């Protein structure tokens, strides 16, 4: 629903450096000793030995871990062209890749460190929840969703742009979980544009005696949406639990609140505010596209405030 800004080459390469040596050792170990996956012993076929040996070269491994969001599709094609059944859980190559990337190497990754590199504060799938974490030793850690699910694409288990910070709601069994984006029409937050999702609302009634009562009087809708994301992540249903946010903005627009408050802040002696800071104070949330990740519901607030004329 909101865009994740692309990371610098330095951050992506640092992630590669964090995982490459251990990952390479694990590939060599599995090639030599096989692995135990889903309570079954698994050894590589001759063809898979050659493929995994090729994978374990620096150019291939680095491309896999650092692939851009656009290049991930080409990576998937390489694996499927080699073995069309690689997405199936009982496939020999799938089992070996699961043993390498998912069962052993992904659990070693420092999720908190990874999230700090991204500098994002709210779930990009829904923009409803914070995704803060505490110290490395704390149990309160961020969740990382594999956009291309690890059961079907285990080889993307450590790929930088396949790891999406998310809230428990979006990453849970009732939402994103193991749904395949290629089947369900899901779009990665790295590829989402601001106008791919646009909120609007329908006001059934406004009680002028108690204007902030009656959340059910407001229906939150999308003027624009990515159908797969909306359906799988249940965005319309979730957002319709938050009509009170819209009621407050509607009341502000009815009271000519915007112009009066803006004039007051501009004339306040001793403090100077930018236009975006005034907008933030006015509606109680960030409005700059580059800052939408900083607070829950910022995308909703921005779209509705623009529609109501509270900001321009």
Q: Which tens digit of pLDDT belongs to each residue from 129-143?
A: 999 776 555 566 678
49/86 same-domain check: yes
Q: What angle do CA 299, 301, 305 make, to 5 degrees?
A: 120
Which of these three, 184, 211, 232, is where a domain ends?
184
**In a domain? residue 2:** no
15/164 same-domain check: yes
Give the containing element (helix H, strand E) for 225: none
151/265 same-domain check: no
Query: Distances in Å between the alpha carbon of 166 and those of 36, 52, 109, 137, 189?
Result: 30, 31, 16, 20, 11
The total of structural domains in the chain comes to 2
94/40 same-domain check: yes
179/199 same-domain check: no
172/276 same-domain check: no
Which of these three, 137, 166, 184, is where a domain ends?
184
**In a domain? residue 35:** yes
List the pLDDT tens digit at each of the 312 positions of the chain.
Answer: 999 999 999 999 999 999 999 999 999 999 999 988 877 889 999 999 999 999 999 999 999 999 999 999 999 999 999 999 999 999 999 999 999 999 999 999 988 889 889 989 999 999 999 997 765 555 666 789 999 999 999 999 999 999 999 998 999 888 888 899 999 999 999 999 999 999 999 987 766 656 666 666 889 999 999 999 999 999 999 999 999 899 889 888 888 777 788 888 888 888 888 889 999 999 999 999 999 999 999 999 999 999 999 998
Length of the chain: 312
173/255 same-domain check: no
171/219 same-domain check: no
129/209 same-domain check: no
Share of the chain above pLDDT 70, in %: 93
Phi first, then psi: give them for residue 42, nearest 5 degrees. Answer: -140, 125
pLDDT tens readout for residues 190-221: 999 999 999 999 987 766 656 666 666 889 99
**In a domain? residue 189:** no
87/170 same-domain check: yes
**In a domain? residue 215:** yes
Structure tokens at 150: 């690890």
**In a domain? residue 165:** yes
The domain in which residue 206 lies consists of: 194-308
Its sign, for the CA torsion 219, 168, 63, 82, is: negative
Which of these three, 150, 184, 218, is where a domain ends?
184
Q: Residue 256 half-sphere exposure, CB side, CA atoms within 13 Å?
A: 4
**In a domain? residue 1:** no
**In a domain? residue 138:** yes
pLDDT tens readout for residues 3-24: 999 999 999 999 999 999 999 9
60/141 same-domain check: yes
**In a domain? residue 4:** no
Question: Residue 161's pLDDT is what?
Answer: 98
Q: How many CB atoms lie within 10 A of CB 41?
A: 9
Residue 183, classed as helix, strand or coil, is helix
Q: What angle do CA 28, 143, 41 make, to 5 degrees?
A: 35
146/28 same-domain check: yes
């Amino acid at each position: 629903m909101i865009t994740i800004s692309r990371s610098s080459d330095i951050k992506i390469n640092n992630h590669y450096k964090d995982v490459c040596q251990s990952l390479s050792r694990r590939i060599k170990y599995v090639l030599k000793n096989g692995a135990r996956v889903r309570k079954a012993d698994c050894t590589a076929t001759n063809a898979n030995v050659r493929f995994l040996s090729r994978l374990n070269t620096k150019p291939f491994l680095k491309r896999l871990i650092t692939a851009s969001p656009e290049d991930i599709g080409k990576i998937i094609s390489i694996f499927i062209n080699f073995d069309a059944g690689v997405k199936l859980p009982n496939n020999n190559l799938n089992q070996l890749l699961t043993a390498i990337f998912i069962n052993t190497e992904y659990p070693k990754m420092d999720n908190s460190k990874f999230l700090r590199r991204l500098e994002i504060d709210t779930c990009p799938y829904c923009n409803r929840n914070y995704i803060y974490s505490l110290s490395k030793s704390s149990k309160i850690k961020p969740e990382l969703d594999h956009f291309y699910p690890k059961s079907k694409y285990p080889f993307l288990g450590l790929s930088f742009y396949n790891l999406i910070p998310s809230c428990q709601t979006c990453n849970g069994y009732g939402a994103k979980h193991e749904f395949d984006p290629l089947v369900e029409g899901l779009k990665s937050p790295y590829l989402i544009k601001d106008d791919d999702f646009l909120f609007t609302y329908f006001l059934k009634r406004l009680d002028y005696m108690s204007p902030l009562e009656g959340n059910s009087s407001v229906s939150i809708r999308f003027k624009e949406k990515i159908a797969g994301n909306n359906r799988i992540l249940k965005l319309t249903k979730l957002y319709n639990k938050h009509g009170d946010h819209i009621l407050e903005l509607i009341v502000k627009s009815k009271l000519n609140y915007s112009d009066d408050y803006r004039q007051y802040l501009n004339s306040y002696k001793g403090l100077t505010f930018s236009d975006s800071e005034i907008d933030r104070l006015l509606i109680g949330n960030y409005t700059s596209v580059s800052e939408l990740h900083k607070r829950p519901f910022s995308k909703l607030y921005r779209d509705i405030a623009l529609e109501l004329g509270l900001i321009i």
